[in-house]
């Protein structure tokens, strides 16, 4: 079985490359590793490639990369994908720090990249801005969340962590409660991209930074139901929702089948389940603003 281990980096088109670079370096707190020919590559403060940008007509999520086991054979993965009816290509040196990748399209047309080996783009950078620890998860609006969830579970080895009724699914590929989310929407698009912070003080500092930049928080601080993460959200200059979060649920033993116990859990133990809309949104915190929901 192909088994994704973590989300690597996300690739976006942006109509204003310089403006996007300024946001990700000065506000988000990533480090510009390389820029040229309408592209830019940004790493987090530990040196992991996190965001790739390229100039395009409109803001758009184009590609999502996932690391698989370093012992995996890309040729065998390609054969497995072909057996599942998925056509893939092999590319080399498409992004800094990653040599070989397999690429294919998911049912929405978003490109998925799989890699087995990578290298740091420097290490332990001093950063401006919020300075997240890692890219944590990506949430997308799709016409059929159930079909996308089945594809990601069957092809990439994801597991379902939770549903909110039949319209919002949370999928995990490692101990984190979710790495990919799909929610029902009238048109395919990214709903939000999320970055993990260290602790609540780190979240507070990010709030102060956003206030100084006159970038409104459009939801939060809030503790969610599914995943139980504490989060704040804002929109970047490309009008995309960005989440900073902490304390996401962890399933550290798949055999046990429950999330690592925490005092704020609804259930004891907290297992994957289907939540209803009335009880699922928050343990505490304000409701989302109209700006978040649009």
Domain regions of the chain by residue span: 6-115, 134-281
**Fold type of domain 134-281:** 2,3-Dihydroxybiphenyl 1,2-Dioxygenase; domain 1 (3.10.180)
pLDDT exceeds cutoff 90 at 112: yes
* pLDDT tens column, 101-110: 999 999 999 9
When pLDDT is averaged across residues 224-242 and rounded to a whole number, the result is 97
β-bridge partners, 235: 241
Instruction: Calculate what percentage of the chain has a pLDDT beyond 70.
Output: 99
* pLDDT tens column, 55-75: 999 999 999 999 999 999 999
CA angle (73, 45, 247) in 5-degree steps: 85
Q: Which helix (H) or strand (E) holds 194?
A: strand 189-196
pTM for the full model? 0.96
Q: Which two tokens stand for residue 232?
A: 């704040």
CB 203 within 8 A of CB 209: no
- What's the pLDDT score for residue 280? 65
Which residues have a Cβ under 8 Å from the Cβ of 204 and sit 6 or more positions away?
none
pLDDT exceeds cutoff 80 at 124: no
pLDDT exceeds cutoff 80 at 192: yes
Domain 6-115 top-level CATH class: alpha beta
Task: Please tell me if the domain spanning 6-115 has the same topology as the one spanning 134-281.
Answer: yes
| Burial status of residue 249 (CB atoms within 10 A of its CB: 0-12, 13-18, 19 or more) | buried
């Amino acid at each position: 079985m192909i088994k994704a281990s973590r989300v690597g980096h996300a690739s976006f088109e942006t109509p204003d490359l310089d403006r996007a670079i300024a946001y990700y370096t000065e506000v988000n707190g990533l480090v510009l590793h390389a820029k040229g020919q309408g592209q830019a590559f940004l790493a987090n403060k530990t040196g992991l490639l996190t965001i790739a940008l390229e100039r395009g007509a409109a803001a758009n999520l184009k590609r999502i990369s996932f690391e698989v086991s370093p012992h995996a054979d890309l040729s065998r993965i390609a054969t497995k994908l072909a057996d599942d009816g998925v056509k893939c290509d092999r590319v080399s040196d498409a992004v800094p720090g990653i040599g070989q990748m397999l690429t294919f399209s998911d049912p929405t047309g978003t490109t998925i990249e799989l890699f087995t080996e990578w290298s740091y783009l420097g290490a332990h950078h001093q950063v401006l801005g919020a300075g997240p620890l890692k890219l944590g998860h990506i949430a997308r609006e799709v016409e059929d969340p159930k079909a996308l969830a089945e594809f990601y579970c069957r092809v990439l080895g994801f597991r379902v962590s939770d549903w909110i009724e039949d319209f919002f699914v949370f999928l995990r590929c490692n101990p984190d409660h979710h790495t990919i989310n799909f929610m029902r929407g009238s048109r395919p698009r990214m709903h939000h991209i999320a970055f993990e912070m260290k602790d609540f003080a780190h979240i507070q500092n990010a709030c102060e930074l956003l206030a100084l930049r006159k970038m409104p928080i459009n939801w939060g601080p809030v503790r969610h139901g599914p995943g139980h993460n504490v989060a704040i959200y804002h929109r970047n200059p490309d009008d995309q929702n960005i989440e900073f979060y902490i304390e996401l649920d962890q399933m550290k033993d798949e055999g046990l089948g429950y999330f690592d116990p925490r005092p704020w859990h609804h259930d004891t133990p907290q297992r994957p389940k289907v939540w209803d809309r009335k009880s699922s949104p928050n343990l505490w915190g304000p409701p989302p603003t109209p700006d978040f929901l649009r």
